[in-house]
Amino acid sequence: MTEFEAIKELLPGYVLGTLDPAERMRVREFLDACRGCREEIAHLTAVTERILETAVELDPAPALRGRLQERIGQPAPAAAPARPKAAAPEPAGGFWAPLWSFFGRPAVQLGMAVLLIALIAANFLLWRAQERPGNHAINERGMQALAVQGTADTPEASGFILISADGQSGALVADNLPGLAPGTAYQVWLAIDEAGVLESGGLFQVDENGYGGLGLQATRPLSEFTRIGVTVEPESGSSGPTGLKVLGRDLP
């Protein structure tokens, strides 16, 4: 094995931090003369970053913010601003840049773009406060936004389900849902009544206005399901609905 081949073998460990100090030094010394190695490190680093970016976001204790200020010797800041209702501003590159980098393949990019455009459109529909429930074609490709109504217990709640034109994927956005008790979350349920199928479509939280949503997760195309519902469940999720039902509708 040549030195080049040996170093290439070590590059994943270099990026993952699993090399011993001597191996690390050996790679480092070789990098200056090996442009291909540096490029490979960049690609491998991107893989680790992509995995890290999928960490499910959790809230740290509010007091942590003040502790940081103490550590760096700065005066205590004002309270954290309320979570915005619209999309939060993103770091360098903006919201769309990381989105496009998430989904590198052209087919995925197209599907994602349609889904996100539809999601924004659904927010617009929510804002318009539609007077009656119904189905709304979002674009020429036949993507649909289906209005979802609150239940007798939550008459103020409303939302939209977005289903891609091919019926394979979709999202839910909801508004005016009741606030959640600590340790609970909203869980989406997808059902095919005649087949006795019931599965979770995912968990989500809402902001102080009861606004929230998620990309729906399902083991089969969304177009196969006949009913959707949202209930309050423990934040780790339930195997079946157990809590208050807040949204629901039949699917066409």
Q: Which of residues 113-132 bind another protein (CB under 8 A)?
A: 115-116, 119-120, 123
Site residues for another protein, 128-157, by CB under 8 A, read: none
Residues 26-65 that bind another protein (CB under 8 A): 36, 40, 43-61, 64-65
203-208's contacts with Cβ under 8 Å and 24+ in sequence apart are: 203/233, 203/235, 203/237, 204/172, 205/180, 206/174, 206/177, 206/179, 206/180, 207/82, 207/83, 207/85, 208/82, 208/83, 208/179
Minimum distance between the CB of residue 14 and another protein, rounded to whole angstroms?
11
Least distance (Å) from another protein to the CB of residue 52? 4
DSSP state of 74: -
9 binding another protein? (CB under 8 A): yes
- Which one among 2, 22, 35, 74 touches another protein, defined by CB under 8 A? 74
Of the ranges 27-35, 93-101, 128-136, 148-156, which one interacts with another protein (CB under 8 A)? Answer: 93-101
Length of the chain: 252
Enumerate helices (H) and strands (E) in the chain, giving the number of each: 6, 9
Chosen residue from 25, 108, 110, 137 binding another protein by CB under 8 A = 108
CA distances from 62 to 66, 67, 131, 216 (A): 8, 10, 39, 29
Binding to another protein, residues 212-231 (CB under 8 A): 212-215, 217
Only segment of 150-158, 166-174, 189-197, 223-231 that touches another protein (CB under 8 A): 166-174
